[in-house]
């Protein structure tokens, strides 16, 4: 007697075989008309490449932070005192907040001033590297004002320009 499990297996297997045979024997013209809708225009995808110096800065910062986070996570798991665990947790939380704020600031600079920038925050210091063909004090002032508007307390902001 055939078991239900075997019956289902053979049924599903035969369906898969039939669908594979149908797909293989299907004409290529039919596949092209299925994949492309004549009413729809093809989408144009624009790619924006960042300067390699900004990518290198981001990678270095991410590696530093990842190492620091690894040390803090080890402290959280190996520490016996609750105070040490709590301090490590607070530092991890702070690092995550800083990373999110840096990304937010980079997006604001890109949206408002159309600049590709790298932002690094250290307590009250904000270091910014911008890729721009013009290196004038007016643009640096705009960058500093835009960054300072995001904070309630006074921050020491440095702006460095690089050519692309």
Q: Residue 54: how many CB atoms within 10 A of its CB?
A: 18
Q: Give the per-residue pLDDT at 48.
A: 47
- pLDDT at residue 107, as a whole number: 93
pLDDT score for 144: 92
CATH number (2.40.100.10, 2.70.150.10, 3.30.420.40, 1.10.287.4300) of 52-162 reads 1.10.287.4300
- In whole angstroms, give the CA distance from residue 7 to residue 61: 58
pTM to 2 decimal places: 0.64
Q: Collect all residues with Cβ–Cβ distance below 8 Å to 112 and sequence separation of at least 6.
A: 146
pLDDT tens, the chain, 164 aa long: 668 888 888 888 888 888 877 777 776 665 555 555 555 555 555 444 556 888 888 899 999 999 998 888 888 888 678 888 888 889 989 999 999 999 999 999 999 988 899 999 988 899 999 988 888 889 999 999 999 999 999 999 999 998 86
Residue reference for tokens 């947790």: 89
Which 3 state secondary structure label does DSSP give 121?
strand
């Amino acid at each position: 007697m055939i078991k239900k499990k075997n019956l289902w297996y053979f049924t599903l297997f035969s369906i898969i075989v039939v669908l594979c045979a149908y797909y293989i024997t299907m004409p290529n013209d039919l596949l092209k008309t299925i994949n492309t809708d004549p009413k729809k225009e093809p989408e144009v995808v624009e790619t924006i490449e960042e300067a390699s110096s900004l990518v290198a800065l981001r990678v270095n910062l991410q590696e530093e932070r990842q190492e620091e986070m690894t040390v803090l996570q080890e402290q959280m798991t190996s520490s016996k005192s609750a105070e040490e665990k709590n301090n490590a947790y607070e530092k991890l939380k702070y690092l995550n907040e800083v990373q999110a704020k840096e990304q937010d600031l980079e997006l604001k600079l890109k949206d408002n001033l159309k600049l590709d920038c790298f932002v690094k925050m250290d307590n009250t210091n904000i270091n910014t590297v911008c890729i721009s063909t013009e290196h004038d004090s007016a643009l640096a002032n705009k960058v500093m004002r835009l960054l300072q508007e995001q904070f309630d307390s006074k921050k020491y902001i440095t702006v460095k320009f690089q050519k692309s």
